[in-house]
Amino acid sequence: MMDLSQILEVASATDPGMVRSHNEDSVAADPANGLVVLADGMGGYNAGEVASGMATTVIITEMQQMLAKVEPYAIDEKTKQQVGRRILREQVLKANTSIYQAAQSQPQYAGMGTTLVTCLFYDNKILVAHLGDSRLYLARDGKFSQVTRDHSLLQEQIDSGLITPEQAKHAQHKNLVTKALGIDPSVEPEMNEYPTKPGDIYLLCSDGLCDMVEDEDIGMAVQTLGANLKLAAEQLVQMANDNGGRDNVSVILVRVLGEYPAARGVMAKVFAWLK
């Protein structure tokens, strides 16, 4: 597995916000392995904090161990899919089981869970797994767009035409998610893969940002301050807090600095030349 720390620039920021006493969000990054994880926990007392912390820790540590052994672009003979997809899904499921079992066995953690958005960069691609309403956005060529689709009651109502996206901004039940990690014994993350381009900036965020700040303003901040990712991350958190900061707010920004094709060995290069 190639070291991507020179290709991917990563910055993050997380804050309790202006209302909550503690932070139930969790962020983690391993730029060398092309991995970033963001989770927004839920549950009474500090249980949400425990759930999100377990999610990021399990996924980062387990993926590090797996990526030391396998190349994510290799094809899995059983599934005929790339290995990266299989191992990321397996670690998400492992995190789900860990959180669910802790919630079942310890009364103070009953009902805890977490949203999740995690990305694995490899072979000039980004593999995205997500559950709930934490989001991934992309800034590319002057455009800013949402990549993931929320697993939420609100999104279902928008999709079925019951409410408009404009009405959704003022809805009461913004935080009711239809999928999360740790709530049920088994869960299936939504997984998608997209090609990346040098210059792309990816934004992972908890709903504490997108509930407080309009997408247009988020995009403007990312594109205006994108030359300094750390400053951009801090500014996004500040914008959410300036607008009321009713929830914990977390962001991870990833800039793709260049190409990172998989090194497929001599024979693969020969076949590529012959094509």
* Confidence (pLDDT) at 145: 98
- pLDDT value at 202 more than 60: yes
Give the model's pLDDT for residue 265.
Answer: 61
> Residue 165's pLDDT is what?
82
pLDDT at 237: 98
Pairing between strand 25-30 and 249-256? Answer: unpaired
Q: Are 3 and 258 in contact (CB under 8 A)?
A: no
The 3-state secondary structure of the chain, one letter per residue: CCCCCCCEEEEEEEECCCCCCCCCEEEEEEHHHCEEEEEEEECCCCHHHHHHHHHHHHHHHHHHHHHCCCCCCCECCCCCCEHHHHHHHHHHHHHHHHHHHHHHHCHHHCCCEECEEEEEEECCEEEEEEECCCEEEEEECCEEEECCCCCEHHHHHHHCCCCCHHHHCCCCCCCCECCCECCCCCCCCEEEEEECCCCCEEEEECHHHHCCCCHHHHHHHHHHHCCCHHHHHHHHHHHHHHCCCCCCEEEEEEEECCCCCCCCHHHHHHHHHHC
Residue 271 clears pLDDT 80, i.e. is over it = no
Average pLDDT, stretch 39-66? 94
Evaluate if residue 189 carries a pLDDT over 70. Answer: yes
Looking at per-residue pLDDT, the higher value among 90 and 265 belongs to 90
Domains and CATH numbers, the chain: 8-274 (3.60.40.10)
Tell me the angle at which helices 47-67 and 83-105 cross, rounded to the nearest 10 degrees. Answer: 150
